[in-house]
Amino acid sequence: MRFWLNIVAMSACLVLAPGCVKYHYIAAPPDVRAALITDEALKRVEEFQGFVIDGALAGSIPMPAARTAVEWTVKVATIAKQQPNGWQAVAREAWVQTRPQLALVPQLAAWLGVLDALLGGT
């Protein structure tokens, strides 16, 4: 009987102990947060570029649209590295000019929404 009471007591400790831990939130400095946001955004842009290149090589995305998309992704990556704090405004302006041509390609429809959200809408 005592053995089972010990098992129950140990199980209760294992279940209830994590609730006693206090987590402290440490806010990241603004420059670190901006760098993390930029890094995540550039990952999505890189994924888009890979998708476009794969589609163009497979023949499902027309080469002129693929070229336009890749030129835009390279421009965004370059701007983000040169201007880590003001890259989104320049990228958004380039996106507004590039988006209409890419909207004609049905395979890119899902990506258009992602990139719109990434850049704060058009």
Q: Report if residue 20 sits inside a domain.
A: no
- The residue that leads in pLDDT, 106 or 119, is 106
pLDDT at 7: 73
Q: Report if residue 23 sits inside a domain.
A: no
Q: How many distinct structural domains can be found in the chain?
A: 1
What is the span of the domain harbouring residue 68? 29-118
Q: Report if residue 37 sits inside a domain.
A: yes
Q: Report if residue 21 sits inside a domain.
A: no
The DSSP code sequence of 54-119 is HHHHHTSS-HHHHHHHHHHHHHHHHHHHH-TTTHHHHHHHHHHHHHHHHTT-GGGHHHHHHHHHHT
Give the mean model confidence (pLDDT) for residues 70-96.
89
pLDDT digits (tens, 9 = 90+) for 14-27: 666 555 656 666 77
Q: Report the mean per-residue pLDDT for the chain.
A: 83
Output the pTM of the full model. Answer: 0.72
- The residue that leads in pLDDT, 30 or 101, is 101
Q: Report if residue 1 sits inside a domain.
A: no
pLDDT digits (tens, 9 = 90+) for 26-62: 776 777 777 788 888 899 999 999 999 999 999 999 9
